[in-house]
Amino acid sequence: MLRIKNLLLAFWVMSSVIFAACTQQTEAGNATVKDTVAPDDPSDFVVITEVVPDAILEIRYYSTFNFIGTRVEGYLEPTALLTRQAADSLRVVSDELKAQGYRLKIYDAYRPQTAVDHFLRWGADLKDTLMKPYFYPDLVKDILFDRGYIARRSGHSRGSTIDLTLFDMSTKKELDMGGTFDWFGPESHPDFGGDPNTGVFTGKFNSPSGRTITAEQFEHRMILRRAMLRHGFKPYDEEWWHFTLRNEPYPNTYFTFPVKQL
């Protein structure tokens, strides 16, 4: 009987140790998954041009040439920021495309939540249609929320999303993508005129105004897309210029610090 009691006691002790170890492992595992950084902490971010020195910046939301028509709140300087992981992957993309005769041209990267809030206020003001002819001529402004063009939270605010195009070093011009950054409409979709999964131009268009792109313009979009996907980024179904790092380090944190030199 005593032997049985001792065995039971030993089993209980061992079980307690195993349970405690599992609990610690679970807690530790959760700690690695959770975002422990504060939303106003830019310590894991870098200035893109310090990592990708060949990148060209045209930060539209610092300028007045954007769908709002004024500088967007939160953009204090005409620079671009990304998490270190995203910037390192972008450098590999840049190296590959540079060998093909292209440089990256960046329109936007990290976007603070204050900028997204500015978009929301602008979207609610239906009388402000200053930039409609340039960015959404086929749409009535009050459907921009329903169509998903404006959201209360943006993946850009998590720090690993970027909007970009290609600059042709031989012509010294942007590569002709058959559409402009921040155009609100199906013409911006990666499948406009072709199948982005195969890269095959189909000539199928769903433009409300009969707009089209050429096979060459579609291929230009695919050059950018293929390079981004090869090096860890995933595309966005609504915009050919928009990519997010697949394994983004802060998938649940929406940062608030402004865009400026770090």
Structure tokens at 143: 């459907």
Angle CA 84–89–90, to nearest 5: 95
Three-state SS at 238: coil
Q: Which residues of 174-197 are buried (b: 16+ CB within 10 A; e: fewer)?
A: bbbbbbebbbbbebbbbebbbebe
Is residue 157 within 8 Å of 113, Cβ to Cβ?
A: yes
Enumerate the active-site residues.
Answer: 239
Q: At CA 196, angle to CA 191 and CA 198, rounded to 5?
A: 135
DSSP code for 203: -
d(C-alpha 200, C-alpha 116), whole Å: 35
